[in-house]
Amino acid sequence: MNELQHLARVRDEDLAGQASGAGARALLASILSEEPTAEPIAGPTAGPARRRTSRWRTSRWRARLAVGAVAAAGFAAAAVIAPAVLGPRGPASSYANSAIDIELRGDMYVATIKDPLADHEKYTEGFKAVGLNVNLEVVPVSPTQVGQLTGMRLSGRLAPNGQSISNGTTPEGCTLGSEGCAMTVEVARGWTGWASVQLGRAARPGEKYRNWRSAMKKGEMLEGYRADGKTVGEVMAEVRRRGLKAVFQIITPAPDNGGYGVDPKQQSAEVGDDWMVWEVQSEEAGVVRLMVTKERLPKNPVYGDTKITDE
């Protein structure tokens, strides 16, 4: 929404005759009542100076007259515009563009994602229009996180109602992918912080997921299978059995196995069937990523301990 739309509309014809208003007439009368300035003209002869109107002074007097008339008209125009600019109009309570629809419902701004494939600037534009500093990006994710907030960075305090940002659907509780069901992001009214948020959408064919999700979780490609702690040969047998493909990510354990790093220079190494698998992630539809080391380790470096798969 263009904020200038809130201004009173003033056309040239609306201002016709404004210079003859009370304020303008008073200013004009003040200017006209001031007599032309007389000043001595220096000459080669002695004696009392003759009083004569200076051409320069007269020109300046005429200029002041013109400026006064313009100023009077300007004051009249300001009297029309100023209340709209300075009045108590806060941010809009609703906004819509081709990508997002935002409206205030009670204590929450509800943003409905109309185009999940739109440029993220379209979403941010909408939040800005209602006075919220939210940078929203809708990204491709694995099936179990469609419609979920997959990443969030926040600054600032919670709103008076104790809330900040959450996700949902409209109509509430509908199944994403069904007719008329859309993803929503809810932001508390009165929240004055800054946020960078990622919301998951369904991936297009061949599009890599942008969430970090174990492929062994319920609803993912290796649901029900425990891959961590097994050899690459064992896990690949299950991968092929399920009609999937795999890529490898070689990780470098921290000295105490309490974490890991990834060295791009090592990724071209040939992974053997006797290498160890510590996690399997969903890469894209039909493809999983095995996180592996050449050595067998005393504990899982991805989690810093024995991996326990939930769900």
Question: Residue 261 carries which side chain, given as an amino acid letter?
Answer: G
pLDDT, residue 75, reads 38
Question: What value does the mean pLDDT of the chain take?
Answer: 77
Categorize the per-residue pLDDT at 15 as very low, low, confident or very high, splitting at 50, 70 and 90.
very low
Of the chain, the percentage scoring pLDDT greater than 90 comes to: 56
State the average pLDDT over residues 159-187.
88
Q: What is the pLDDT of residues 91-126, one digit of tens each?
A: 788 999 999 999 999 989 999 999 999 999 999 999
Check: pTM over 0.85? Answer yes or no: no
pLDDT score for 25? 53
pLDDT of residue 160: 67
pLDDT of residue 126: 95
pLDDT at 257: 79
State the pLDDT confidence band at 304, using cuts at 50, 70 and 90. confident
d(CA 307, CA 281): 13
- Enumerate residues 6+ apart whose C-beta is below 8 A from 242: 221, 222
**Dihedral sign (CA 210, 216, 221, 227):** positive
Residue 164 confidence (pLDDT): 85
Q: For position 14, what pLDDT does the model report?
A: 46
Residue 200 CA to residue 208 CA, distance in Å, equals 12
- Tell me, rounded to whole angstroms, the distance of Cα 208 from its chain centroid: 23
Per-residue CA distances from 48 to 36, 40, 44, 45 (Å): 20, 9, 12, 9
pLDDT value of residue 131: 93
Residue with tokens 């201004």: 7
Q: Sorting pLDDT into bands at 50, 70 and 90, what band is 163? A: confident
Burial of 126 (0-12, 13-18, 19+ CB in 10 A): buried
pLDDT tier at 138, thresholds 50, 70, 90: very high
3-state secondary structure of 169: strand
pLDDT in tens, 198-251: 999 999 999 999 999 999 999 999 999 999 999 999 999 999 999 999 999 999
| Of 26 and 95, more confident | 95
Could you state, in order of their start, the residue ranges of all structural domains in the chain?
3-35+53-86, 94-202, 214-311
Per-residue pLDDT, 274? 97
- 151 falls in which pLDDT band (50, 70, 90)? very high
275-291 pLDDT, tens digit each:
999 999 999 999 999 99
